[in-house]
Amino acid sequence: MKKIALYILSISLFTSACANKDTTPLLNTCKIQIHVDGTSTGIATIAPYQRVQSMEEYNKFTIKDSIKGKTSTIEIDTVQALRKVTLNYNNKMYSTKLFTGVGEYILTIKNDSLIVKGAPRHEEFLKINETLGISKMEDLKYKKNLTKVEDDFKTNFSKNLIETIKKHPKNTALAQTAYGQFWAEDVATLDKVLNSFDQSMHANYFLTPLVERRKNLDIVTVGKPAPIFTLKSYENKDISISDYKGKYLLIDFWAYWCAPCIKGFPELKEIRKSYPEDKLAILSISTDKNYDKWIEAVDKHKLPWTQVIDDAKLPVDISSKYVVTSIPHLLLISPEGNIIYKHKYTDNLTDELKKILN
């Protein structure tokens, strides 16, 4: 079965508006000044730095303001983060990235170019970006038909990033970059990355998920007891993994928008027919945050086994607990409640199950 990476929009702190500019000293605010010729109006858009799980969340955390007159000022929260800023002015688009925080940033549109002057932390990021090539890596991440130079750069980026972290072990921009680069990596790589940062940075917003994921990787290794959970089913019943003790349980993490997940349903339906219910159960866990879309997909695909959703209201989402970084994500639980198989991209699921169940 093919897999698709979970679309993780980079970046669940809430954004808090800066205090009133008339009463708050400049040193306690983050101001973005926009200078234009004043012949037109426009819109400034600041994309979220937060980790979001839906377009609804993305839109909620997006900051938008009008560009009016020759000078416009936007005050935002003072969280240190790399953010994409887009100016739509006079029917043209201008984009840049700012490493924000306390301070003042000046964006000037002149001669159809965007000139950026940032606070000291932004200037420090620019130096690191120039040396390491963070922006270049983002451009190449999903590009096909790379040149040899581009391929070599992409191949060596992770190693160079770790070496740069060692030189700047308290740098938040590198923490944000590391989150995007190393999210799906193995234990050895995560250890190397986290050990390269100063210990104090492990509580940083961007590194906390990597710290948590590293811990969870030890919990969900093959041979370990499967973490216990209780989730709501399609019929609004409480379903616990402990309900399946005494039989094999195939867990399938999926989402309504995941084409490879849906493509795998016919095989799962055949597997369902091949084994009696008292020997093998199947449990699908939706990673969707849109309940209506989930219900619609379950009805559409007529899946003849229990359907539950990883409830966003739970204190810890089950997908993170099971270290789900791509979907479909399938694993087999023994009658004793231990993880005994994790499906790999190169495996034939039906054949692997036959080896274990027959």
Instruction: Report whether the peptide linkage leading into residue 209 is cis, meaning its omega lies within 30 degrees of zero.
Output: no
Q: Mapped to the 3 state alphabet, what secondary structure does 135-176 carry?
A: HHHHHHCCCCCCCHHHHHHHHHHHHHHHHHHHHCCCCHHHHH
Order of strands across the sheet that contains 42-46: 63-67, 42-46, 81-89, 92-100
3 state DSSP class of 292:
helix
DSSP states of 34-60 as a string?
A: EE--SSS-EEEEE---S-BSSHHHHHH
Strands 326-327 and 238-240: unpaired
Q: What is the pLDDT of residues 28-79, one digit of tens each?
A: 899 999 999 999 999 999 999 998 877 888 999 999 999 999 999 999 999 9
The residues near 195 (Cβ < 8 Å, ≥ 6 apart) are none
Under 8 Å between Cβ of 311 and 319: no
pTM of the model: 0.76
pLDDT values of the chain reduced to their tens digit, one per residue, 358 residues: 555 554 333 333 323 333 333 443 445 899 999 999 999 999 999 999 998 877 888 999 999 999 999 999 999 999 999 999 999 999 999 999 999 999 999 999 999 999 999 888 899 999 999 999 998 998 898 888 999 999 999 999 999 999 999 999 999 999 999 999 998 899 999 999 999 999 999 999 999 999 999 999 999 999 999 999 999 899 999 999 999 999 999 999 999 999 999 999 999 999 999 999 999 999 999 998 888 999 999 999 999 999 999 876 665 689 989 999 889 999 999 999 999 999 987 889 999 999 999 8
* Dist. CA 267–CA 279, nearest whole Å: 18
Under 8 Å between Cβ of 165 and 174: yes
In terms of residues, how long is the chain?
Answer: 358
